[in-house]
Amino acid sequence: MPARPAGADAADTAGPQVCDDMTVEVALAVMAGARTGHLLLCDNDDQHTGLVTRAQLITVRDSAAYTDRLRLRDLPDDGRRFPRRPL
């Protein structure tokens, strides 16, 4: 799946919406069940916080620093997640 341009609006991309406190393993299972290559991320207030792809999650899962407690909100931002809420 091609990377979305930085700054794209999450509302422009259809797909399953999940809470960003989900673990990487659960997110991969949701993607497999939904037969999709990406997930829209939302915070506890249902505000869009980004998008992750299957390729991103597999890369993280296969890294030496991976733990099964890693949450989607803790993934490094490589410029393809969008939009970022101001802190």
- The helix (H) or strand (E) run that includes residue 40 is strand 38-42
- Taking only the tens place, the pLDDT of each residue in 47-81 is 998 899 999 999 999 999 899 999 999 987 765 55
Residue 87 has which token pair?
């802190």
Q: Which of 1-15, 16-30, 46-60 has the least mean pLDDT? A: 1-15
pLDDT score recorded for residue 22: 96
User: For the chain, what are the domain ranges?
Assistant: 14-73
Pairing of strands 48-53, 17-19: unpaired
pTM for the full predicted model: 0.73
CATH number of 14-73: 3.10.580.10
pLDDT score recorded for residue 79: 56
